[in-house]
Amino acid sequence: MDHTIVHSQTLFMTLSKEIITLIAEEILAEEDCSYSHQLEAYRVLAHLTLTCRAFYLGFNGFLYENISTLHKYFNAGIMKTLALSDEERSALSHALRSPHPASFVKYLQIVSTRDFFIASGIRARILSKLDCSEPQEGGFELDEKDWADAEEEIERIDKTESWTEELDGMYVTRSQTEKYLRNLARFQNQIRLVLHNIAKHGSMLYRLEIRCELAPLPFLFERSFDLSRLSLLKELVLGPSFPQRNLGECLVLLGKICSISRNLVSLELNWDQNFMCAPPPEISSQVLSTLPKNCPGLEEITLRLQSSADPDLCVPLQQVFDSPDFVFPKLNKCHLYINKTMDITAFFLRHPAIQNLKYYNRFHESINDPRFGKRLEPGQVFLPNLTYFEGFALNFVAICCSNPNSESVLPPLDTVEINLDEEEERLGSEDGLELQVAFVDALRSTSLTVKKLLSLSSNFDVKEDRGLPLDVIIAMIQACPGLTHFECTFYAFDTHVPYEFGQHSFYNSILSHLPLLESLTVYYEYPQDSFDILSAEALRRERSIHYEAILNSLRYARQQQASRKRQTINWDGLVRKDYKQGDRRGDMRNDMQDNELRLDRVEVSARMMVGSYDLQERRFCFVYEDGGIIELD
């Protein structure tokens, strides 16, 4: 045997812990955040743990730091390992003298997957067929009798019978039914064991996310669960895990978790109307009222409450938001998804330190209520430290109108992200003229500070024609001439403007009115039948129009702004649907240096393809959703 090789292997296996940690961090570096890249990185670490004992002890912890039930890889492997008892892994722990993997968990996400949603629906239908008690809300509270009845019903079905169960437009065979139900039971038991092991062995859990109506809190945290092990918890996300059957126990548990986690700085409660296990307003108001006492150190809070246009249903929650005791002194990030006829003004006035606000409410009275004018003291600023806003256009208008018309007391907004939903698409129509004028006026009032304006549509259905017309986009950028980042959804086919002229006007307007622009992102919207995307001639025409419009606009901007500083302008085009191959992004870069225009790459996008033109190779190609590529000279 070559002693040199043996000596090298010995040195390799005696690397310091710091070196091993650096190797692991390099492997997990997030150069590519895609799921496939992350999965491959974890696989590499898993293989390295099999190399030697030193690598096992050094890399093993990284495999269990961030756990999510969303990933099938984790479900099949890591979650199963985390659920092992001390007795089941005694041989391995004795041989390697390694701690239980649960001791490494820092971030745990328990989220329902598609399979478990299907299993829950199947179980409910089986119990209905058996004339059992009404299916439990959430579908996860399974007792022995329910499972015995369900399995007995499955066994009664003739194995030769082609039995199907319709579920939300899908048909599930008998064998699939049996598989789903057993996977559901396995998932139930596995999660409970994982949490038990974390409580027993772990003390490093920083973030806990439970968004699973199939897993109520009393089921997850049994009486034997040592809640004191959650003392280091900093971030807590709870979804619809509050079934009516044991609602009282759920509320007690929530209070205990929050009070024990004295380091808690971020709390999110997902009680949207789409969830089956969300508590009613009178109960959710009780929960919210206890938060200031149980979570006094919150710096970030996210509340997703059930939608309701009935003022009577909003009374309990309104009382909470109006209460002077409902205050968080350290709050700087506030994300509210309310959609209720409520006035949140008093809550905002009690939290002047808010810097980051995401506020979604289709009822504009929630801020700019007639009662509001009496609450603002002379010279007082509404959200004086607000630098980032995200929400509907009418919410942005309400916030801007809530301040006196004086530039000296306006909040120092830097980034405004407007999300246009189905109702607010009228912003670009004749019916939405009033909202359009108010929105542009609101932008103009903040133009001295706003540097980033992002206007997106939340509807990504290719069957719908969404987007803003050219005149609205021009009005937006004219209101904020100091923008460095601009993002919008452009409806490319305006019936009042010829298509080619519209493209030239679009790029000319942006470059002429935004001299400080550094980044431009445009989501192009085309009518579904506007042109044949499979036609090579249509592709050539599309390329030519965009290319000439961009090139001419850049030259025009250079002539108009010869003194502009050196900058890089990035154009991004994104296909408006997440296809099998995933979203495809492209960019167009224009480097202006010493008044010399240099355009290295042009990319444009359409409804079902994204294209690029490389000037150096003089080749243009479009990539389709099925992965096919057409190259044009």
- Chain segment 483-520, per-residue pLDDT in tens: 888 888 777 666 566 666 677 778 788 878 888 877 77
Is 50 exceeded by the pLDDT of residue 570?
Answer: no
Per DSSP, the residues of 3-52 read HHHHHHHHHHTT--HHHHHHHHHHHT--SS-SHHHHHHHHHHHHHHTTT-
Distance, CA of 519 to CA of 570 (rounded, Å): 5
**Exposed (0-12), middle (13-18) or buried (19+): which is 82, by Cβ within 10 Å?**
buried
Residue 88 contacts residue 54 (beta carbons within 8 Å): no
Region 399-422 average pLDDT? 72
| Residues of the chain above pLDDT 70, percent | 51
Confidence of residue 414 (pLDDT cuts 50, 70, 90): very high
- pLDDT digit string, tens, across residues 184-194: 777 778 888 88
> Average pLDDT of 375-402?
81
pLDDT of 469 over the 70 cut = yes
Round to whole Å and give the CA distance between 218 and 339.
29
The confidence band for 129, taking pLDDT boundaries of 50, 70 and 90, is low
State the DSSP H helix or E strand holding residue 552, giving kind and residue range, or none if neither.
helix 536-560
The reported pLDDT for the residue numbered 463 is 36
Please say if the pLDDT value at position 121 is more than 70: no
Find the helix or strand (DSSP H, E) in which 203 lies. none
How far is it, in rounded angstroms, from Cα 131 to Cα 125? 10
Residue 163 backbone dihedrals phi, psi, to 5 degrees: -90, 135
Handedness of CA 298, 299, 305, 309 (dihedral sign): positive
What whole-number distance in Å separates Cα of residue 430 and Cα of residue 412? 32
Give me the pLDDT at residue 612, please.
42
Higher pLDDT, 280 or 598: 280
What pLDDT is attached to residue 301? 96
Sign of CA dihedral 380, 345, 350, 424: negative
Cα–Cα distance between 266 and 334 in angstroms, integer? 10
The confidence score (pLDDT) of residue 315 equals 84
The answer to whether 250 and 242 are in contact (CB under 8 A) is yes
pTM exceeding the 0.75 threshold for the entire prediction: no
**Using one digit for the tens of pLDDT, what is the confidence trace for 151-210?**
555 554 444 333 444 444 445 555 666 676 677 777 778 888 888 888 888 778 889 888
pLDDT at 57: 74
Residue 298 has pLDDT above 90, yes or no: yes
384-393, 409-418, 513-522, 555-564: least confidently modelled range: 555-564
Q: Give the separation between CA 120 and CA 131, rounded to whole angstroms.
A: 17
